[in-house]
Amino acid sequence: MTAVPAGQEPPQPGSLPSAGPAASGPDAAEQRLLESVRALRAPGSDPYGEQAGRHPDPAQPVRPGSSLTVERCLQLFDAQLASRHLDLAARWLRARGAGYYTIGSSGHEGNAGVAAALRLTDPALLHYRSGAFYLVRAAQASPPRDGVTDVLLGLVAAAAEPIAGGRHKVFGHPELHVIPQTSTIASHLPRALGLAFAVDRAAKLGLRTPWPEDCLVIASFGDASVNHSTAAGAMNAAAYTSFQRLPVPLLLVCEDNGIGISVRTPPGWIAASQSGRSQLRYFTADGADLADAYDTTLAAAGYVRARRAPAFLHLRTVRIGGHAGSDVESAYRSPAEISADAERDPLLGTARLLVESGALTPADVLDRYEAVKARVLALADGLAGASRLGTAAEIMAPVAPRRPATVAANLASRAGQVSDWPRHRVFGAQLPEDEGLLTLAQAINRALADELALRPGMIVFGEDVARKGGVYGVTRGLLRAFGPGRVFDSLLDEQTILGVALGAGLAGLLPVPEIQYLAYLHNAADQIRGEAATLSFFSRAQYCNPMVVRVAGLAYQQGFGGHFHNDNSLAALRDIPGLIIACPARPDDAAPMLRTCLAAADVDGSVCAFVEPIALYHERDLHEAGDGGWLARYEPPERWPRAHVPVGRARSYGDGQDLTIVSFGNGVRLSLRAARTLAAEGIGCRVLDLRWLAPLPFEDLLRAAAATGRVLVADETRRTGGVSEAVLTTLIDAGFTGRMARVASHDSFIPLGDAAAAVLLSQETIEEAARDLLA
Ligand SMILES: Cc1ncc(C[n+]2csc(CCOP(=O)(O)OP(=O)(O)O)c2C)c(N)n1
Ligand SMILES: [Mg+2]
């Protein structure tokens, strides 16, 4: 056990609040609930709450017409009570410096009915007020899990917490099929859509996923979150996909407590905005009425499961006790509003159901309440000093687990499986290795085809990739060869494209989404930064979302100008922990690097950004028109293992002794041209193509720098936040003491036409900087 930091003494058993209601003291909400329970009367009972002697059959409906039995209602009530007491325990732990999270589920415990109406094997991406849902799910497992302990371990950031291991307080567990979510509201909805799409797509492709074919995906979120563009985009994408008669078994559950922190949702807005939508069937239930929540979820889930179509379940809830422990809601809500919520307390609702059915007396309810409270608090007390993460190594272990040798072996074994016959079916009479010299675009195209043939779970999708074959023809012919099940056009929404990748990767497919231009990655960057890159971290690598995101980018396009088609900023990708960034410059690097990324995604669950320099797609020449210096042959499969380019290995050109020019992407071609000019002046250069921008090729860089003792970085990204900053600091950190300089593009956007050259790195600036450095 790690010691609790100073000032955070673990609570002593003697400091436990007593289980009696009188001791719950200042918690007005709790007092009010208990008073309301005491005032409940069973039909036919006398004014003192004595029953008329009914003991309903446990298998009977708890209310006529409901599918919820008395027995199930009692079980769910216990989960609701435990969830409420977890919220109280969270505040108690926090007050004692032993807990770190107080956003609770109070008022939302109706989601116990949602969980009960679904299957354990329905993957769930949950709102942060899902305590009762989680506890019900935990009880569904065989053997059942103690969900209370799981949640408490999360509250105290214990290393033993089953999903995030103390990295965050999230709901998640692989055995419960609960996938952990980030705190970014609505950001899980594109993934949820992608997962719903992928479970059916995988089945269609004859592939297994961790979930049964008739599963549905449940994603829950709050009412304020509905207005987020991420939610709007995901719901639109679900409806759009379903409109095309493609299966989308997605149950969207909006837990509408009428408020987002302090901002009221206009009363009626959720129903007004979501009911009657085409392709998104609307259901609504009273979250304070467990039987209604259960019955309505059964109906909604039945619809989604049978029709494989999305539905929106509007669960009307309340919020009890403020947004979080630190939130003083009386500052922005009137006492009348707070009381109105208390009257709709779901615990009171379930107590009423059970009392009215004759299953419990008010006194029984109070006993149950206290018994659960005592159990939860005793557990909280026991876990308050649980061991936490300590070292950076412990914390970072699941960021992006890497096994380079296994990646190489995976690649080699795939190469060993290649046989000519299916390749001829894909490529026709002429195999790519017999085509002669290829461009970068052609090499990527051929590698995609070979890999699609070898990896049955690989899917290629994005805007214009299928029928058109990509804006630059990189995916041409893939639709014809592999069919629309594996190569398809997406709707025009980068967030959805990445969401489909997130869900497909989670489902075990190998998604290769294309982002049409680097500039358009930026409007969906959170799906990589906040979602894709963090899943392994927040799940202790129990979940991963492998993907290779192809991004056409960088500058120097002839004829298609302006910033958005020539975006040269990679800063938003470069600082993402664990992300692999590949940037091939030449055809003979692009194909093996793509293979490495796919193998890494397959083997390690890696998230890879494969940045393709548009200006080099169709480039043929290096020095003179017609020299064919930028073309290369495609390696036949038997040579793939030998041609393997591991992540983080650079490529070196030349053996000049005066200067090492470090570059990547378009800069490699500019640098090679500059090196020739400089050679004519008697300056011997070698050029190092980094090839991988994350992780940077540390050892190759140091070796190349040491070879000449002088380094010039030629960086086509911006001076600020660009790659050159990382290269130079890497050299300094490593103790390199030789001369260093850099040339980069300006901190500007790219203008239209020839003016672009004024702000971009050029061959001439590289040459001048080299002369200066050597002067
Ligand atoms: C994208 C984003 N913006 C802001 C926040 C901060 N934030 C956390 S919860 C919240 C309100 C959410 O309200 P709602 O969706 O109604 O859920 P509730 O908390 O009421 O259950 C906000 C603004 C966030 N987590 N994510
Ligand atoms: Mg809300």
Cα 303 from Cα 597, distance rounded (Å): 39
HEC states along 198-267?
A: HHHHHHHCCCCCCCCCCCCEEEEEECHHHHCHHHHHHHHHHHHHHHCCCCCCEEEEEEECCEECCEECCC
Distance, in Å, from the CA atom of 505 to the CA atom of 575, rounded to the nearest integer, reads: 22
Closest residue by Cα to atom 15, ligand 1, is: 222
Question: Longest Cα pair distance anywhere in the chain, in angstroms?
Answer: 107
Pull the structure tokens for residue 56.
Answer: 């309903």
pLDDT per residue over 724-745, tens digit each? 999 999 999 999 999 999 999 9
**Closest ligand relative to 105 C-alpha:** 1
**At which residue do the structure tokens 């090499």 appear?**
443
Q: How far is the CA of 41 from the centre of ligand 1 (A)?
A: 38
Closest CA to 213 of 221, 205, 203: 203
pLDDT tops 80 at residue 768:
yes
Q: Which residue has the tokens 């497909």?
A: 504
Q: How far is 728 from 95, CA to CA, in rounded Å?
A: 47
Pairing state of beta strands 580-582 and 692-694?
Answer: antiparallel
The confidence band for 19, taking pLDDT boundaries of 50, 70 and 90, is: very low
The confidence band for 494, taking pLDDT boundaries of 50, 70 and 90, is: very high
> Does residue 49 have a pLDDT over 90?
no
Ramachandran region, residue 274 (left: φ > 0; alpha: ψ -120 to 50; beta: rest): alpha
Closest atom of ligand 1 to 128 CA is 21
For the chain, percent of residues with pLDDT exceeding 90: 92
Report, in angstroms and rounded to the nearest whole number, the Rg of the chain calculated over CA atoms. 30
Strands of the 250-256 sheet, one edge to the other: 178-179, 124-125, 217-222, 250-256, 311-316, 281-286
| Res. 55 pLDDT band, cuts 50 70 90 | confident
Instruction: Say if residue 47's pLDDT is above 80.
Output: no
**Catalytic site includes residue 618:** no
Pocket test for ligand 1, best of 185, 225, 329 (most atoms within 8 A of CB): 185
pLDDT of residue 310: 98
363, 298, 377: which is closest to 66 by C-alpha?
298
Q: What's residue 329's pLDDT?
A: 94
The candidate with the shortest Cα–Cα distance to 198, out of 419, 503, 450, 647, is 503
Task: Mark 498-514 as b/e (b = at least 16 C-beta within 10 Å).
Answer: bbbbbbbbbbbbbbbbb
Residue 152 has pLDDT above 80, yes or no: yes
| Residue among 108, 127, 188, 565 flagged as catalytic | 565
Nearest to 103 by CA among 112, 114, 85, 91: 91
Could you identify the atom of ligand 1 that is nearest to the CA of residue 184? 26
| Cα 29 to ligand 1 centroid, rounded to whole Å | 22
Provide the mean pLDDT of the chain. Answer: 94
Q: What are the DSSP calls for 144-196, one per residue?
A: PP-HHHHHHHHHTTBTT-TTTTTS-----BGGGTEE---SSTTTTHHHHHHHH
What pLDDT is attached to residue 474?
98
Q: Which is nearest to 395 in space by CA: 182, 173, 164, 178? A: 164
Please give the pLDDT value at position 741: 98
Amino acid at 378: A
Q: Is 458 a residue whose pLDDT tops 90?
A: yes
Instruction: Kindly give the distance from the C-alpha atom of residue 104 to the centroid of ligand 1, in angstroms, as a whole number.
Output: 13
Pick the atom of ligand 1 nearest to 221's CA.
Answer: 15
pLDDT at position 369 over 80: yes
Three-state SS for 331-385 is HCCCHHHHHHHHHCCHHHHHHHHHHHCCCCCHHHHHHHHHHHHHHHHHHHHHHCC
Residues within a 6 A CB radius of ligand 1: 129, 183-185, 222-225, 255, 257, 259-261, 319, 323
Identify the pLDDT of residue 46: 60
- Locate the ligand 1 atom nearest the alpha carbon of residue 183 and give its number: 25
Q: Specify the pLDDT at position 296.
A: 98
For 644-674, the pLDDT digits (tens) are 999 999 999 999 999 999 999 999 999 999 9
C-alpha–C-alpha distance, residues 31 and 19, integer Å: 13
Can you read off the two tokens belonging to residue 313?
Answer: 């379940």
Residue 10 has pLDDT above 60, yes or no: no
Report how far residue 524's alpha carbon sits from residue 515's, in angstroms, rounded to the nearest whole number: 10
Q: Which of 84, 80, 97 is nearest to 15 (CA)?
A: 97
Tokens linked to 331:
């500052």
Tell how far the Cα of 333 is from the centroid of ligand 2, in angstroms. 14
Name which of 51-55, 302-306, 506-510, 529-533 the model is least confident about: 51-55
- Name the pLDDT band for 54 (thresholds 50, 70, 90): low
The closest alpha carbon to 499, from 537, 471, 530, 465, belongs to 530
Q: What is the pLDDT of residues 333-355, one digit of tens each?
A: 999 999 999 999 999 999 999 99
Give tens-digit pLDDT for 606-637: 999 999 999 999 999 999 999 999 999 999 99
In order, the DSSP letters of 649-662 are: --EEE---SSEEEE
pLDDT band at 199 (very low <50, low <70, confident <90, very high): very high
Is residue 21 pLDDT above 50, yes or no? no
Average pLDDT over residues 129-153: 98
Determine contact, residues 266/316, Cβ cutoff 8 Å. Answer: no
Distance 259 CA to ligand 2 centre (A): 4
Ligand 1 atom with the shortest distance to the CA of 261: 11
Q: Whose CA is nearest to atom 21 of ligand 1?
A: 222
pLDDT at 16 over 90: no
Which H helix or E strand runs over 458? strand 458-462
The residues near 301 (Cβ < 8 Å, ≥ 6 apart) are 117, 118, 122, 216, 251
For ligand 1, atom 13, name the residue with the nearest CA. Answer: 260
Q: Measure Cα distances from 39 to 42, 46, 81, 361 in Å.
A: 10, 12, 18, 11
The whole-number average pLDDT for the span 302-310 is 98
Amino acid identity of 381? D
Distance of alpha carbon 579 from alpha carbon 226, whole angstroms = 29
Can you read off the two tokens belonging to residue 538?
A: 């927040």
202-214 mean pLDDT:
96
State residue 5's pLDDT score: 37
Asked if residue 23 has pLDDT above 60, the reply is no
* pLDDT per position as a tens digit, 234-260: 999 999 999 999 999 999 999 999 999
End-to-end CA distance of the chain: 61
Average pLDDT over residues 460-468: 98
Give the pLDDT confidence of 78-114 residue by residue, as tens digits: 999 999 999 999 999 999 999 999 999 999 999 999 9
> Facing residues of 260 across strands?
263
* pTM of the model as a whole: 0.95
Instruction: Residue 516: name the closest of 566, 581, 464 by CA.
Output: 464
- pLDDT score, position 15: 46
Backbone φ and ψ for 420, nearest 5 degrees, come out as -65, -35
Q: Ligand 1 centroid vs 163 CA: distance in angstroms?
A: 22
From 261, 263, 269, the mutation candidate for ligand 1 (largest count of ligand atoms within 8 A of CB) is 261
What residues contact 734, with CB distance under 8 A and at least 6 apart?
698, 702
